[in-house]
Amino acid sequence: MRFPPFSLSPVCSFLVIFGMMAVTVWACSVPVFRYALEHWEADPFQAVVFHQGELTAEQKVRMEALVPDGADGRRANLNVVAVNVDQEPGAEFKELWNQLPKDAPMPQVALRFPCSTGLTEPFLTARLDELAHVADSPARQEVAERFAQGQSAVWVMVESGDEAADEAAAKVLEERLEYLTGVLTLPELEAQDIANGLVSVGQDDLRLEFSVVRVSREDVKEKVFVQMLLATEPGLDEVDEPMVFPIFGRGRALYALVGQGIRAETIEQAATFLIGKCSCQVKDQNPGTDLLLTANWTAMAKASPLLERELPSLAHLAEEAAPVTVMTEPVVEEVASPGKNALISGVISLGVLLVTILVAMKLLGKRRE
């Protein structure tokens, strides 16, 4: 059986072209780590302070201290909410309240991830007067400082406590990152992406650089940070092996490399993704989990030129849209001569004859089949 040659209908052709345009719109030449720094705001964590009766003046001060004052432009992606359990907690907090031990001393603080992560259980609960370094810690300050220096990603290693295993994992990680820094290359920025405000720096200002920050599980100042990292994926808190979390953008953990998973291939795979072109500009459609950090991300990103661009005023738009009178010369139509009309008629007649012959031949062929 013969099949007709493949062809696209006008509608299908339009859909294919539209799909190709859509892919072009959502992809860009900016590396993932840089696009994330400039455009992916970190979603807010929530610290829910459960208390009975009125909070004392001291307790209010402690609650306010959970979030840094931001005097230097540094901001924490953290919202603090007080819930009086003497009154029936609202639906938003009732399930969270039921997850806490009933004999928990008050005020009790429950820390949980942003709603966008789908992680509803608190990753840490503690008494208000025992909680410190919630939104900031020395390790997180170091991570933010390295981003301010332009580094592509900071690989946070949570030590297991087994010195031999930790040193072996650190050696593999550091040696591979040094190698990758020498062989990987950043994508070339397209002029259109710069003009559209997708990146606020030029090619020469992009840096391909990785570094490692090691964190001990026994460090009291890093308790919140460690618990947060171990809660980014189910079951990590039950593993006593070294773990590595590539962090990029505005404090976003890509995923965890655990134990024997800390090897050259997996490190290269993560690094290649982070320095590669951003194939999808929507944060939630990319891998990773936002972390709780305190930093001046706007200053680090130098702000996108597109955000600083002033919009035109209504008066200016009205002036641009004002009607314009265009003077045109009258067109003198050429009158066809009788000879030319005869020629045209002959060509048309010949075309009709050819079509008639082709149709007749097609019908005759079908009768013979």
pLDDT digits (tens, 9 = 90+) for 290-335: 999 999 998 988 744 434 444 334 344 334 444 444 343 443 334 3
74 and 55 within one domain: yes
User: Which of 97, 132, 167 is a domain's end point?
Assistant: 132
| Residue 288 backbone zone (phi > 0: left; psi -120 to 50: alpha; other: beta) | left
Say what the pLDDT of residue 88 is.
86
The amino acid at 267: I
**Average pLDDT for 134-142:** 97
182 and 123 within one domain: no
* pLDDT grade for 70, boundaries at 50, 70 and 90: confident
Q: Whole-structure pTM over 0.85, yes or no?
A: no
Q: 153 is written with which tokens?
A: 């990603």
Number of folded domains in the chain?
Answer: 2
User: Which of 132, 160, 192 is a domain's end point?
Assistant: 132
* pLDDT grade for 4, boundaries at 50, 70 and 90: very low
* In a domain? residue 369: no
- Choose between 241 and 340: higher pLDDT: 241
* In a domain? residue 311: no
Say what the pLDDT of residue 73 is.
87
- Choose between 47 and 7: higher pLDDT: 47
DSSP state letters, 62-83:
HHHTTS---TTS-EESEEEEEE
The amino acid at 223: K
297 and 152 within one domain: yes
R_g of the chain, CA atoms, integer Å: 32
168 and 62 within one domain: no
244 and 169 within one domain: yes
**Average pLDDT for 33-60:** 96
* Cα 213 to the center of its chain, rounded Å: 23
Say what the pLDDT of residue 339 is.
40
Q: How far is CA 141 from CA 69, 108, 244, 350, in A?
A: 15, 26, 18, 84
Please tell me the distance from the alpha carbon of residue 145 to that of residue 139, in angstroms, as a whole number.
10
256 and 200 within one domain: yes
155 and 289 within one domain: yes
10 Å CB burial of residue 73 (0-12, 13-18, 19+) is: exposed
* In a domain? residue 68: yes
- Choose between 184 and 12: higher pLDDT: 184
* In a domain? residue 247: yes
* In a domain? residue 35: no
Please tell me the distance from the alpha carbon of residue 50 to that of residue 89, in angstroms, as a whole number.
9
Find the domain containing 109 and state its range: 41-132
